[in-house]
Amino acid sequence: MKLNISPSLIRQYAVVVIVNLAVLTTGMSLSWPSPVLVKLRNVTETPLPAPITAEEGSWVVAGGYLCAMITNIFGGMLLDLIGRKYCLLLSSLSKLCMALLLIFADKLWMFIFSRAVMAVIDSFVFIIVPVYASEIASKDHRGALGTFLQVFSSLGIVITLSVGPFLSYINFSIVMASVIAVTTMPLLFLPDTPFYLYSKGRTEEAIKVLTQLRGTELLANQEIEEYEISKKNENKVDKIALLKNRMFLKSISLGFLLVGGAQLVGFNAVSFYLQTVLESTKTSVKPEIASVIIGVIQVLASFCTTLIMSKFGRRSILMTSLSGMFLGMVGLGTFFKISGTEGYVITGFMNYLPIISLIIVIFCFCAGIGSLLWLVIAEIFEGPSRALGVSISITSSSLFIFITTKYFAQMTLAVGPAPTYWFFSAMCVLVGVLIAIFLPETKGKTFSEIQEALGGKTEKTKITDNSVKERI
């Protein structure tokens, strides 16, 4: 049976792939601490005058996310001011400058500063790309295209985990800067999103882009009609009034649940310190090899999400993902509890329990909540409020990332690794229950239909209601 793939669909996928090249380098940046912290603590490998302490390392890893809390507030405003495309270019060029600085860094403040700026940029990229992808994609392909973010993030992570442990600090820094430079070039040739073009009064450009992406001018004009409805809502509600709007606040609450839950289940705390965690297990499995295996699993998991998105709803995938993470975190806690017994010798299956548990945690996160997080957040906000809503959600995400990554090491030292991982497993249960109760299914729905599912009334619904009243 011959597949009939339209040129317009190919264009949609091509544009979203190019956009996600920025996410590839973000994945490399996010996993940077895993191999590099080990080098910075090694007296022979560190470019610093002396190895860093655990406290200094925690600021190198987490400090930027504290800054991102402030800067992300302006992210949504910048998206609407200069457009999605130019925000993406600005982010990539800024990241390239910081990557070049890291090549020559030989003082602690240089590491903290450059990593802080990169963390801010990485957070901003997670605002831009979901908004861009959701506005480029058609309703039927929004789910599959939305999962590309996690796929490319995972590819970036596996590059770092595969290359970072085996190269010197300088050589790895050069590789990272080179990848950022190469992936920035195609961004120059992207169009801006049709919704942004329409919002700026550039209707003809919006129709032209939509016609290329949807295949016919008829479909393009139908989507423009939806934009007109959104613009009417935008005229009625300004940015300040949005913060008092019941539906917007409900969407924000769901955004907080998703981003906060994704951090409190402990994935980033584990992945940022992955090689350090693996070394702490003291098993016979080499940390460098284990981190590569886990990185590859992460990529495979991200591809799995794209395949299962067409068969299962968003909520069921999210809850299954959290159930798997619960089992993995329980496994890690159990290992550290048993292996911490005085005189215990790690043999047999116990050698492999940590890596098996980590694989389960990382696979389930990347195949579920990690892939769907940004897609669902972009879906639960209506057009006029999307940029602001996503930026506020990402801002809260930065706070949770800072808390979990800054105090993960301290929490492990204070209460022990076993209670730490069991705490994460409890969070998996809590977040899963809240998602089951409060998050509506968004699969296969237009943005207007999603707003209706949240309990709001769109312009179309109001017109229908008025018609019914008139007939009565």
| Residue in 190, 193, 200 with CA at minimum distance from that of residue 223 | 193
**CATH pick for 11-190+237-439 out of 1.10.3720.10, 1.20.1250.20, 3.40.50.300, 3.20.80.10:** 1.20.1250.20
Domain boundaries, the chain: 11-190+237-439
How far is residue 320's CA from residue 339's CA, in Å, rounded to a whole number? 29
pLDDT of residue 462: 46
User: Token pair of 434, please?
Assistant: 């809240």
Count of H helices and E strands in the chain? 25, 0
Residues 305, 366: contact at Cβ < 8 Å? yes
Q: Which residue's entry shows tokens 């590059």?
A: 159
Give dist(CA 472, CA 464) in Å, integer.
13
| C-alpha span between 389 and 409 (Å, rounded) | 32
Tell me the backbone φ, ψ of residue 312, rounded to 5 degrees: -125, 155
End-to-end CA distance of the chain: 52
Return the residue matching tokens 């380098």: 25
CB atoms within 10 A of CB 108: 17
SS3 percent helix, strand, coil of the chain, rounded to 5, is 80, 0, 20
Question: What is the predicted pLDDT for the residue at 2?
Answer: 46
Q: Report how far residue 118's alpha carbon sits from residue 65's, in angstroms, rounded to the nearest whole number.
A: 9
Q: Which two tokens stand for residue 419?
A: 């209670």
Residue 397 and residue 392: Cα distance in Å, rounded?
9
User: How far is residue 130's CA from residue 145's CA, in Å, rounded to a whole number?
Assistant: 9
Q: Which residues contact 169 (CB under 8 A, 6 or more apart)?
A: 36, 39, 40, 45, 46, 47
Q: How far apart are CA 106 and CA 169, in angstroms?
A: 11
Sequence-distant (6+) residues with CB within 8 A of 48 are: 40, 106, 107, 108, 111
* Apex 257 CA angle, 458 and 358, nearest 5: 135
CB crowding 388-400: b at 16 or more within 10 Å, else e: bbbbbbbbbbbbb
Nearest to 193 by CA among 133, 127, 276, 122: 133
The pLDDT value recorded for residue 459 is 47
| CB contact set of 411 (below 8 Å; sequence gap of 6+) | 420, 423
- Look at residue 468 in the predicted model and tell me its pLDDT: 31
240 burial via Cβ count (<10 Å: 0-12, 13-18, 19+): exposed
- Written as six digits, the tokens of 184 are 């920035």
pTM: 0.70
Could you tell me how far CA 24 lies from the centroid of its own chain? Answer: 11
**pLDDT 10s digit of each residue in the chain, 472 long?**
444 577 878 888 888 889 999 999 999 998 888 889 889 988 888 999 999 887 888 888 877 777 777 676 677 678 888 888 899 999 999 999 999 999 999 999 999 999 989 988 988 888 888 888 888 877 677 766 776 877 888 889 889 988 888 899 999 999 999 999 999 999 888 888 888 888 888 888 888 888 888 877 777 777 777 777 766 655 554 667 777 778 888 888 888 899 888 888 988 777 766 666 677 667 666 777 777 777 788 778 877 776 777 778 888 899 999 999 999 999 988 988 888 777 777 777 887 888 888 889 988 988 888 878 877 887 888 766 776 787 788 778 778 878 887 777 778 778 888 888 899 999 999 999 999 888 888 887 777 788 787 775 544 444 334 433 333 3
The alpha helices in 147-273, defined as continuous H runs, are 148-163, 169-184, 194-199, 203-214, 217-236, 239-242, 246-264, 267-272
Distance (Å, rounded) from C-alpha 420 to C-alpha 399?
19
pLDDT computed for residue 472 by the predictor:
35
What's the CA gap between 316 and 302, in Å, rounded?
16
List the one residue out of 124, 31, 157 whose CA is nearest residue 374.
Answer: 124
Residue 28: closest CA among 113, 105, 144, 125 = 125
